[in-house]
Amino acid sequence: MESKKLFAFDLDGTLFDYNKCVSQKTINIINRLVECGHIIAIATARPPREVIRLLPESLNSHYVICYNGAEIYQGSEKIFEQHIQPELAYSIIIELSSKQL
pLDDT of residue 100: 67
* pLDDT band with cut points at 50, 70 and 90 for residue 17: confident
Please name the fold of domain 6-97: Rossmann fold (3.40.50)
Distance CA 98, CA 79 (A): 37
Say if residue 2's pLDDT is above 60.
yes
Q: Determine the length of the chain.
A: 101
What pTM value is reported for the model? 0.79
CB 42 within 8 A of CB 59: yes
Domain range summary for the chain, segments of one domain joined by +: 6-97
Q: What does pLDDT average to over the chain?
A: 91
